[in-house]
Amino acid sequence: MLELDHTSIYVIHDIAELDLVPEDAGFSAVVFGHSHHPSAETRRGVTFVNPGSAGPARFSLPISLARMYVNAGAVEVELITLR
């Protein structure tokens, strides 16, 4: 768990193992990985982010990362494809 500028962020490797309801627990964002598939979406007021992988290409997925902008509870995400 991270707290940045009054914003709570939950970090977990595999989203399938998430054992809480992020909006009920007060999280503004959940960052996860495991699948290496880059994505960013908002569900029930919580931003879910998978930055993908900036390492060697796997499974024909892009090499990618995400940039998160956090400002007093607001979260914006920029997905960046490196290759």
Q: Are 51 and 34 in contact (CB under 8 A)?
A: no
CA dist 37 and 45 (Å) reads 21
pLDDT of residue 32: 98
pLDDT, position 58: 80
pTM for the model stands at 0.92
CA distance to 6, 10, 33, 65, 69, per residue, from 14 (Å): 25, 12, 6, 17, 22
pLDDT number for residue 57: 84
Sign of the CA dihedral running 39, 44, 47, 48: negative
CATH for 2-81 is 3.60.21.10
pLDDT in tens, 24-76: 999 999 999 999 999 999 999 999 999 999 988 888 899 999 999 998 889 99
Query: Given this model, what pLDDT does residue 59 score?
Result: 84
The ranges assigned to domains in the chain are 2-81
Query: How does pLDDT run across 11-25, given as a tens digit for each residue?
Result: 999 999 999 999 999
